[in-house]
A and B are shown apart, each in its own frame.
Chain A
Amino acid sequence: MARDGDEFEFAVIPALDGLYSLARRLTRSGDVAEELAQETLTRAWAAWIDGRRPDRVGPWLATICLNIVRDRSRRPDRETSWPEGLDVRSPVDVEAEVVGKGQLDLIDRALRHLPEEQRLAITLMDVCGLTAAETAVITGAPRGTVLSRVHRGRRSLARLLDEGAPGSTGGDDVDRTDRAREGRTTDDR
């Protein structure tokens, strides 16, 4: 009925940014990310009209998307597997006309340099916006482990990206009491 379709739209559209951000991190080009996201949506729709109604749409779509990637990586399709180490992007990825894209490229490379559990935890929590509890369910790890991986991964990211610039740490001259109080609101859930 029309209601299935409207409910699906209503539920899924707010989660599209998170899904696309995840797909983008799992693939090597925007085109492939878009295709991966569309495949995810197609499978999600098939489940939806079959009666499936997840509690939270964001983690549900992320799970479907990751499952597609894992299925594909078992086949000789290098477009959607976790890249090993520092991969050079193909020229089609370099959207040179977008300001700041170079910086995003660096961050993305640094992220791909992390161990897989840390990379996945950061991708799901920081890039896709899922909670630690949701990430724990998707990865099958205890929530405390997820928090620990995210913490180590974030610190590694900061070091990888800042170590090239001596004296750029930027925080030491500022009054630390104020900086500590910046963190009064909860950073993670």
Chain B
Amino acid sequence: MTDDCGSAADPAVYLAGELDPATHAWFEAHLVGCEACWSQVRDARRGRALAESLRESAPQSLRETVRALAASGDLAIADEGTAASRGPGRRRARRPALFAAAVAAGVVTVALAMTGPLLPGGGTEPDPHEQILRAAVAVYANAVEVESGARAPVAGIGALALRSSGTATLEGTAVTVFRYGEPGAGQVVLIRSPHPFPRAHASRDIAGAPGWLGTVEGSAVYCRDTAALSWLVIAATTEQALAAGHAAGLMSAPAGRPPIRAS
């Protein structure tokens, strides 16, 4: 393995972006003429790209596991009736074995019973009628950059600032996309369309508010149709989607009322 030429700069430090500006500039010029350092840098970049190509997307079952675990919290409260009756001040006793057993026994089924039709049933085929909704969720999930320009309904949603806005085409329909927050760090996407969106199969009405709330491809979707426009709010959880819909002024709650909760 060729080593570096003994130059003043370490190629590893250069690649980490941690050389001071003067040394960094010097090293880049040095690379032009030094075979040893150049091949190091080239190989390291290639190796990184090779390793990154091993990244995989988590299968859908893992998302379902997370949702099932999260839902099983409520279930455990219902189950541990005797524990709850010992008084409100008592800290909820948790047995990790309960959850391991619950997952092993297929707690996804139980979670479905708890929350009704909102969770997707096992084995359903994709509904072609919902293709545009899936395309919308793909925009949310893939952080596809869109050209900028549109005026957003709000500058921020809670702690999430508007990051980008622009247009995209979903199944032939030109829509406007507003992205708040960062993918991977909690983001919300608003999509505005001149045409109504289809209603998701896994969806339900919301008490006291217009629109519907549903799940598409594992993401939470709130949809509001007005006379002129149709809006989608896409987030990781239903609470987030509802809160974002409210913050964006889509739910017409009078000022001072708390955010509307799903029934």
What is A's interface to B at a CB cutoff of 8 Å?
1-2, 4-6, 8-10, 12-17, 19-21, 24-25, 30, 34, 37-39, 41-43, 45-46, 49-50, 103-104, 107-108, 110-111, 122-123, 126-129, 132, 147-148, 150-151, 153-159, 161-162, 169, 171, 176-177, 179-181, 183, 185-189
CB-defined contacts of A16 to chain B, threshold 8 Å? 58, 62-63, 66
Taking the nearest CB of chain B, how far is it from the CB of A100, in angstroms?
Answer: 9
Interchain CB contact under 8 A, A45 and B62 = no
Q: Is there contact, CB below 8 Å, between B16 and A20? A: no
| A187 contact from B16, B57, B61, Cβ within 8 A | B16
Given A17-B55, A42-B96, A189-B16, answer yes or no on A155-B44 (Cβ-Cβ < 8 Å).
yes
Q: List 6 A-B contacts (CB under 8 A).
A: A6-B239, A42-B69, A107-B51, A159-B1, A176-B32, A186-B16
Q: How far is the CB of B187 from chain A (nearest CB, A)?
A: 9
- Partner among A45, A122, A179, A183 whose Cβ is within 8 Å of the Cβ of B99: A45
**Separation of A159 and B39 alpha carbons in the complex (Å):** 11
* Interchain CA distance A59-B41 in the complex, whole Å: 27
Does B185 have its Cβ within 8 Å of any Cβ on chain A?
yes
Q: Which of B56, B63, B236 contacts A24 (CB 8 A)?
A: B56
Q: Which of B12-48 contact A (CB under 8 A)?
A: 12-17, 28-29, 31-32, 38-48
Q: Tell me the bound Cα distance from A109 to B187 in angstroms.
A: 36
The answer to whether A183 touches B54 (Cβ under 8 A) is no
- By Cβ-Cβ distance, the 4 closest A-B pairs, closest first, are A154-B47, A186-B17, A5-B70, A126-B51
**A151 and B69 form a contact (CB under 8 A):** no
Contact between B57 and A17, CB atoms less than 8 A apart: yes
The residues of B that contact A6 with a CB separation of less than 8 Å are: 70, 237-240
Q: Are B73 and A4 in touch, CB under 8 angstroms?
A: yes
Q: Is B183 an interface residue (CB 8 A)?
A: yes
The answer to whether A49 touches B57, judged by C-beta atoms less than 8 angstroms apart, is: no
Q: Min CB distance, B113 to chain A, in Å?
A: 16
B contact set with A: CB distance below 8 Å: 1, 11-17, 28-29, 31-32, 38-48, 50-59, 61-63, 65-67, 69-71, 73-74, 92, 94, 96, 99-100, 103, 183-186, 218, 236-240
Give the distance to chain B from A140, nearest Cβ to Cβ, in Å: 20
> Is the beta-carbon distance between A13 and B56 smaller than 8 angstroms?
no
- Of the candidates A129, A157, A171, the one whose C-beta lies within 8 Å of that of B50 is A157
Residues in B with CB closer than 8 Å to A38 are 61-62, 65, 103
Known contacts A8-B69, A188-B15: A41-B46 contact under CB 8 Å: no
Residues of B with C-beta under 8 A to A186: 16-17
**Cα of A187 to Cα of B28 in the assembled complex, Å:** 14
Choice from B53, B99, B218 contacting A42 with Cβ under 8 Å:
B99
Please measure, in the bound complex, the distance between the C-alpha atom of A15 and the C-alpha atom of B55, giving whole angstroms.
12
Q: Which of A9, A128, A156, A185 contacts B67 (CB 8 A)?
A: A9
- Taking CB atoms, residues of chain B closer than 8 Å to A46 are 94, 96, 99
Q: B17 and A188: CB pair below 8 A? A: yes
- Which residues of A lie under 8 Å from residue B11 when comparing CB positions? 151
- Please tell me which one of the listed residues B45, B69, B94 contacts residue A183 in the complex, with CB atoms under 8 A apart: B45
Q: How far is the CA of A8 from the CA of B236 in the complex (A)?
A: 11
- A38-B104 Cα distance, complex, nearest whole Å: 10
The answer to whether A14 and B48 touch (CB under 8 A), given A176-B31, A187-B15, is: no
Q: How near does chain A come to B66, taking the closest CB pair, in angstroms? A: 5
Q: A46-B99, A157-B47 are contacts. A9–B236 as well, Cβ < 8 Å? A: yes
